[in-house]
């Protein structure tokens, strides 16, 4: 076993069947429980009260009633100090009917439901100096109809400084991303204006915060620590809502499945290598490449009654045996 010196311990809210033995893992010792419940950091709440619905400014067009179907591109530049260190950057946008957000050329996210503004984290895409925000908004339909974009950006810098940029008359729009004719947008009205109404009003059937942005979220947690020497024993005692897998120094060592603990057993790979069973060895190695995100696929497969992990290999071997037994020598 590798040394735990400088190890990384991760708890993943998922489960993966790779190299899982059927024997239950030993129960942790009965010691004083000193842990605290933790969860993913919540993004700062962004209210859209001071944001406005905007669209391209075209002669004779009222975007709240008769905007043309198709795409409109919006842009805004944000200047950060040369020594800026971004702590958090959050955007919350909605478009009738769809939008895609790009930050310095990198895709940040989007949404296809105008009644549910999308919250997007994009701090890694920012840099000191000039930053360019680009949004592609699309209006569906075969005839003219209402179209609009609304949103707000909040950037928190180390030291506590905060920048907030809402959709307003300072944005520009163009019919194509490489258009030379960018011009100031048309402001339709503040959040709450018709025909969209108040997205954040209590009791509103389409209240933006009524449904989480990411239901059934999968989260990873990690802890790095140093040990003076290799321990003789090491226990992990974990409670998760609802499932988890535990990795130590890059190795999955245990997972929770229902009410059972299961220990990860790598001997199946070693056995395949020693016996020359290259088919099993290849299947296990390919399965290992999907850790840890393959847990999402495995959970979906279980719900669809599809073989999980490398369990399909047994069916392939049975089919192969049946076919070969019917062949004449």
Sign of CA dihedral 15, 19, 21, 25: negative
d(CA 164, CA 22): 53
State the span(s) of the chain assigned CATH 2.60.120.260. Answer: 52-210
Looking at the predicted structure, is the pLDDT value of residue 210 above 50?
Answer: no
**Mean pLDDT computed over 105-112:** 92
Residue 301 clears pLDDT 80, i.e. is over it: no
Task: Go through 46-71 and write b for each residue having 16 or more CB atoms within 10 A of its CB, e for each that does not.
Answer: bebeebbbbbbebeebebbeebbeee
Long-range contacts formed by 191-195: CB under 8 A, 24+ apart: 191/48, 191/49, 191/50, 191/51, 191/52, 191/53, 191/150, 193/53, 193/64, 194/64, 195/64, 195/146
> Helix, strand, coil % (nearest 5) of the chain?
15, 35, 50
Calpha distance 313→320 (Å, rounded): 10
What is the predicted pLDDT for the residue at 236? 76
Contacts of 157 (CB under 8 A, 6+ apart): 80, 81, 84, 85, 86, 87, 163
Mean pLDDT over 13-40 rounds to 55
Report the run of H or E that residue 73 belongs to, with start and end.
strand 70-80
Q: Is the predicted pLDDT of residue 1 greater than 50, yes or no?
A: no
Q: Looking at residue 260, what is its pLDDT?
A: 52
Architecture in CATH of 52-210: Sandwich (2.60)
| Higher-scoring residue by pLDDT: 231, 13 | 231
How much is the average pLDDT of 290-300? 68
Per-residue confidence (pLDDT) for residue 18, from 0 to 100: 38
pLDDT of residue 43: 66
CB half-sphere exposure, 106, CA atoms < 13 A: 12
- What is the rounded average pLDDT of the residues 170-194? 95
When pLDDT is cut at 50, 70 and 90, the band that residue 265 belongs to is: low
pLDDT tier for residue 133 given thresholds of 50, 70 and 90: very high
Task: Give the integer Cα–Cα distance in Å for 242 and 299.
Answer: 12
Shortest CA distance to 148 belongs to which of 97, 74, 210? 97
The better pLDDT of the pair 115, 294 is held by 115
pLDDT band at 151 (very low <50, low <70, confident <90, very high): very high
Whole-number Å distance between alpha carbons of 231 and 229 = 6
What residues contact 81, with CB distance under 8 A and at least 6 apart?
128, 157
- The overall average pLDDT reported for the chain is 80
| pLDDT at site 239 | 77
- Distance between CA atoms of residues 69 and 189, nearest Å: 20
Torsion angle of alpha carbons 209, 146, 112, 169, nearest 10°?
-70
What's the confidence (pLDDT) of residue 22?
38
Q: Is 28 a residue whose pLDDT tops 60?
A: no
For residue 95, which of 163, 202, 30, 167 has the smallest C-alpha distance? Answer: 167
Q: How confident is the model at residue 30 (pLDDT cuts 50, 70, 90)?
A: low
Q: pLDDT tier at 238 (50, 70, 90 boundaries)? A: confident
Q: Residue 135's pLDDT is what?
A: 98
Give DSSP secondary structure letters for 108-158. EEEES-TTSPEEEE-GGG--SEEEEEEEEEEE--SS-B--EEEEEEEEEET
Q: How far is CA 52 from the centre of its chain?
A: 27
Alpha helices in the chain, H assignment, sequence order? 267-275, 278-288, 294-303, 312-325
Q: What is the pLDDT of residue 219?
A: 78
- The least confident of 120-124, 127-131, 179-183, 205-209 is 205-209
Distance, in Å, from the CA atom of 133 to the CA atom of 121, rounded to the nearest integer, reads 13
Mean of pLDDT values over 108-115:
91
Are the CB atoms for 253 and 28 separated by under 8 Å? no
- Top pLDDT among 294 and 160 is at 160
């Amino acid at each position: 076993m590798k040394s735990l010196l400088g190890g990384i311990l991760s708890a993943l809210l998922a489960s993966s069947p790779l190299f899982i033995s059927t024997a239950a893992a030993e129960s942790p010792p009965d010691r004083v429980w000193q842990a605290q419940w933790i969860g993913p950091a919540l993004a700062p709440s962004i209210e859209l009260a001071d944001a406005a619905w905007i669209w391209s400014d075209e002669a004779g067009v009222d975007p709240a009633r008769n905007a043309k179907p198709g795409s409109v591109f919006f842009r805004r530049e944000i200047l950060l100090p040369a020594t800026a260190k971004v702590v958090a950057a959050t955007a919350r946008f909605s478009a009738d009917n769809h939008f895609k957000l790009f930050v310095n050329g990198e895709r940040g996210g989007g949404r296809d439901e105008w009644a549910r503004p999308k919250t997007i984290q994009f701090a890694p895409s920012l840099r000191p100096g000039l930053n360019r925000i680009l949004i592609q908004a699309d209006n569906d339909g075969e005839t003219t109809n209402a179209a609009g974009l609304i949103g707000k950006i909040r950037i928190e810098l180390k030291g506590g400084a905060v920048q907030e940029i809402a959709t307003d008359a300072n944005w520009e729009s163009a019919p194509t991303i490489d258009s030379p004719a960018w011009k100031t947008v048309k402001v339709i009205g503040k959040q709450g204006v018709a025909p969209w109404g108040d997205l954040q009003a209590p009791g509103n059937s389409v209240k933006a915060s009524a449904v989480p942005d990411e239901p059934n979220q999968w989260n990873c947690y990690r802890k790095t620590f140093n040990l003076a020497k290799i321990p003789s024993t090491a226990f992990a005692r974990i409670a998760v809502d609802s499932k988890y897998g535990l990795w130590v120094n890059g190795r999955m060592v245990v997972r929770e499945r229902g009410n059972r603990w299961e220990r990860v057993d790598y001997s199946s790979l070693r056995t395949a290598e020693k016996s020359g069973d290259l088919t099993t060895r290849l299947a296990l190695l390919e399965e290992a490449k999907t850790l840890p995100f393959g847990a999402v696929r495995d959970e979906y497969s279980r719900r669809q009654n599809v073989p999980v992990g490398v369990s399909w290999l047994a069916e392939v071997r049975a089919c192969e045996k049946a076919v070969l037994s019917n062949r004449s020598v």
